[in-house]
Amino acid sequence: MRVLVTGGAGFIGSHLVDQLVAGGHEVVVLDRRAEDDPAWADVDGSADVRRVDLTDVGAVARAVEGVEAVSHQAARVGLGVDFDDVVDYATDNDLGTAVLLQALWRARFAGRLVVASSMVVYGEGAYTCPTHGAVRPGVRRPEALDAGRFEPPCPVCGEALAPATIDEDAPLDPRNTYAATKLHTEHLAQTYAREAGVGWAALRYHNVYGPRMPRDTPYAGVASIFRSELAAGRAPQVTEDGGQRRDFVHVTDVARANVAALEAPPEVTGPFNVASGTPHTVLDLAHALVDAAGPGAPAPVVTGAWRGGDVRHITASPARAATRLGFEARVTFAEGMAGFAAET
Annotated active-site residue 127? The verdict is: no
Residues 226, 291: contact at Cβ < 8 Å? Answer: no
Helix or strand holding residue 70 (H, E)? strand 69-72
CA distance 184 to 117: 9
User: Can you point out the beta strands (E) in 251-337?
Assistant: 270-274, 280-281, 301-302
Residues 322, 332: contact at Cβ < 8 Å? Answer: no
Helix or strand holding residue 116 (H, E)? strand 112-118
Other Cβ atoms closer than 10 A to 294: 10
CA distance 287 to 306: 19
CA distance 248 to 291: 17
**Diameter of the chain by CA atoms?**
59
Sign of the dihedral through C-alpha 235, 238, 241, 242: negative
Q: Catalytic: which of 122, 127, 178, 209?
A: 178
CA distance 60 to 57: 5
Residues in the chain: 344
Residues 1, 49: contact at Cβ < 8 Å? Answer: no
Which candidate, 1, 19, 5, 105, places its Cα nearest to that of 48? 5
CA distance 262 to 325: 10
According to DSSP, the β-strands at 69-72 and 2-6 are parallel
CA-to-CA dists, residue 123 to 119, 140, 208, 340, angstroms: 8, 11, 17, 27
Residue numbers annotated as active site: 178
